Homo-oligomer: A and B are copies of this chain.
Amino acid sequence: MTQAIVYTADGIDRYDDLERAKRAAGTTWVRAETDDHDELQRVADVFGIHPLSVEDIHRDVRPKTELFPNHTFVLVKTASLRRGETTFDEELRTKQVGLFIGSDWLVTLSVSEMPAVEVVWDNIENGESRARRFGPDFAAYRVVDRVVDDYYLLLDDVETTIEAIEDGILGGPDQTILEALNAVRRDLLSFRKVVWPTREAVNVLARGDPDEVRDATEKYYRDVYDHLVQLADLTETYRDLARGARDIYQNAVAQSTNEVMKTLTVVATVILPLTLVVGVFGMNFSGGPFNMPELGWTYGYPAIMLGMAAVSFVLLVYFRREGWL
């Protein structure tokens, strides 16, 4: 679906003919969201957009800003998590939108619907006359700003997950936590590949390299850039926290094994010698004064039982002092 509007501070018009829209006075915005490559290419041809750029809209390429003689091409990606998927590349779902900023026109191309574009488009079309006072570089900023703002939601999700993992570990490590930890780690790796190049792409705009970005708009791109720097920082921080959670997991398992072993050792050390003792008095030696005369002593049995109780008690006191119990 391709739509075209031309707007000024005073008003806004819809156009069907792209050529006429391009020539009309005011800021022209052509928005095509379709998986029909030919339609995208037709729009591109009207504005002198290179076929390799249109191909980039279809393929999974890194976010970037490229400067052309008569326009600037900005490619950004929306990102959302899809927990539960099983192959790597489906976990972080990204969709890309190409923004082509001319001197007085903006073309936005994508292969599917982009809510971030829609919101800004509606804003300009329906109400906000303030936004119409600025040129295509400002409209592009609005779209990019929206895409970047949504990254925070994604990282909030990640943080919640890491906190849940940490709590889970301390409540008893198990296999599920291990898998959750690995999934977070992979999400962050994927997100990193979105946020770092976006930061570089927006920096080109914030520095005002392209002619199409007016001086007054640079400040706004710098604000988005600040956000992207912070998002990159957060991504590294969460990677570090995930590593920390892995360490806690490892240590918690080792600690648990250590305590299980102590329990086992205490039980074995107390019981096994006693079992030996009672085994001795279960032997069948007999005949003659040297063969187990104690079996016939009047207080033999009580004495041995008390002796065993005393030894157990001493051992248990010892283990408690050592911190094994």
Contacts and interface: CB of A to CB of B under 8 A. Distances in A.
A172 B258 CA distance: 12
A178 B241 CA distance: 14
Give the interface residue-count category, chain A: 35 or more
A230 interface: yes
Contact of A290 (B252, B301, B323, B324): B301
B189 A255 contact: no
Nearest to A179: B170
A182 to B, nearest CB: 6
Q: How many copies does the complex hold?
A: 5
Contact of A272 (B170, B233, B267): B267
Contacts of A189: 237, 240-241
B278 A283 contact: yes
Contacts of A64: 226
A251 interface: yes
A223 B52 contact: yes
Contacts of A182: 166, 244, 247-248
B255 A174 contact: yes
A280 interface: yes
Contact of A88 (B163, B230, B258, B272): B163
Interface in A311-325: 323-324
A302 B289 CA distance: 11
Contact of A283 (B50, B62, B172, B301): B301
A296 interface: yes
Interface string A201-237: 0000000000000000001101100100110010001
A301 B292 contact: yes
Contacts of A283: 278, 281-282, 284, 295, 301, 304
Nearest to A175: B255
Given A189-B240, A290-B299, A291-B301, 8 more contacts: A62-B226, A175-B255, A186-B244, A257-B257, A260-B261, A264-B264, A278-B283, A280-B305
